Structure 1
Amino acid sequence: MLIPDSRTLRSLLTRYADLRIAEARGERREGERLEDVSYTLCVVTGTTRVEEALVAADTLLAAHRGPKVRPVPSPADRTETELAA
C-alpha cells in the first residue's frame, strides 16, 4: 500500500469533519460531497468503511510524527548527584 502524505490526510480529515458538521446542521446539499470525501479517505487508507479509514488515518498521522524523543540534558543541566552516579 502506498502511504499517503500527511498533508493529504489532514486535508481529507478536515474536509470530512467540516462536512459532517454541515450535515448535522441539516445542510443536505453536502451529502454528495461527504460521500466523495468518505470514499477518498477509504481509498487512500486502503479500507472499505469510513470508520476504519478514520482510525487508519489517525494511525498513519501518528506514524508520520514519529516517536516522542526527549532531549538529553547537557552536563551543565545535570545536578551534582546525577553527575556522580
Structure 2
Amino acid sequence: MLMAHPAVLADLVQQYETLYALHAENGGPEAQQRLDDIVYTLCTATGTRDIDAALIAARHQLPGARAEDDSVLAPDA
C-alpha cells in the first residue's frame, strides 16, 4: 500500500479540523464540497472508509505518534 507523506497528512488533518470547527458541513455549497473533498482525500490516503478511522490512521502516521497511543479506544476504556 502506498503511504502518504506525513506533511501531506498533517496538512489534510489540519484542513479538516479547521473546516469542521467552522461548521463547514452547515455552510454554503462551496464549504461543504471542500469538506467532502478533504474527507475523501484523507480516507483515500489512509486506506480507510470513514473520517474517524482516517483521522486515527493519519495521526498514527505523523511524526511523534506513539505505538502505545490509545486514541483508538473508546473514551471510557
TM-score (norm 1): 0.66
Which one scores higher on RCO, CA 8 angstroms, separation ≥ 6? 2
Q: Supply the distance in 2 between the matched residues of 1:66 and 1:41 (Cα, whole angstroms).
A: 17
Amino acid at match of 1:47: T
- Paired residues for 1:23-34 under 5 Å: 23=23, 26-29=26-29, 30-34=31-35
Q: Supply the distance in 1 between the matched residues of 2:64 and 2:33 (Cα, whole angstroms).
A: 32
Q: Considering fraction of residues, name the structure with more helix.
A: 1
Q: Supply the distance in 2 between the matched residues of 1:33 and 1:11 (Cα, whole angstroms).
A: 14
Q: Percent same amino acid among aligned pairs? A: 34
Which one has a bigger Cα radius of gyration?
1
The aligned residue for residue 46 of structure 1 is: 47
1:40-82 Cα offsets, whole Å, 9 max, x none, are: 0000000011110000001111xx4477xxxxxxxxxxxxxxx
Q: Which runs of 5+ in 1 are unaligned?
A: 68-85
Please tell me the root mean square deviation across aligned C-alpha atoms, in Å.
2.1
Q: CA deviation at 1:28?
A: 3.2
1:12-57 Cα offsets, whole Å, 9 max, x none, are: 0111011111216x53341111000000000000001111000000
TM-score (norm 2): 0.72
Q: Which runs of 5+ in 2 are unaligned?
A: 67-77
